[in-house]
Chains A and B, each alone.
Chain A
Amino acid sequence: AQSVTQLGSHVSVSEGALVLLRCNYSSSVPPYLFWYVQYPNQGLQLLLKYTTGATLVKGINGFEAEFKKSETSFHLTKPSAHMSDAAEYFCAVRLYNQGGKLIFGQGTELSVKP
Chain B
Amino acid sequence: EPEVTQTPSHQVTQMGQEVILRCVPISNHLYFYWYRQILGQKVEFLVSFYNNEISEKSEIFDDQFSVERPDGSNFTLKIRSTKLEDSAMYFCASSESTGGMDGYTFGSGTRLTVV
Contact = CB atoms under 8 A, between A and B. Distances in A.
Q: Which of B4, B43, B55 has its CB near the most chain A CB atoms (within 10 A)?
A: B43
A99 interface: yes
A114 interface: no
A104 B48 contact: no
A101 B33 contact: yes
A109 B107 CA distance: 20
Given A42-B108, A90-B43, A99 B103 contact: no
B45 A51 contact: no
B108 A43 contact: yes
B55 to A, nearest CB: 6
Interface size classification for chain A: 20 to 34
Given A94-B99, A100-B100, A45 B33 contact: no
Interface string A82-102: 000000001010100001111
B82 to A, nearest CB: 22
A102 B41 contact: no
Contacts, number: 70
A32 B99 contact: yes
B91 A44 contact: yes
Mostly, the A contact residues are strand
Interface in B58-106: 58, 91, 93, 95, 98-101, 103-106
B27 to A, nearest CB: 18
Q: Closest 3 CB pairs between A and B?
A: A43-B108, A44-B106, A104-B43
10 contacts: A43-B4, A43-B107, A51-B99, A90-B42, A99-B56, A100-B98, A101-B56, A102-B35, A102-B100, A102-B104
Interface of B: 4, 6, 31, 33, 35, 41-45, 48, 55-56, 58, 91, 93, 95, 98-101, 103-109
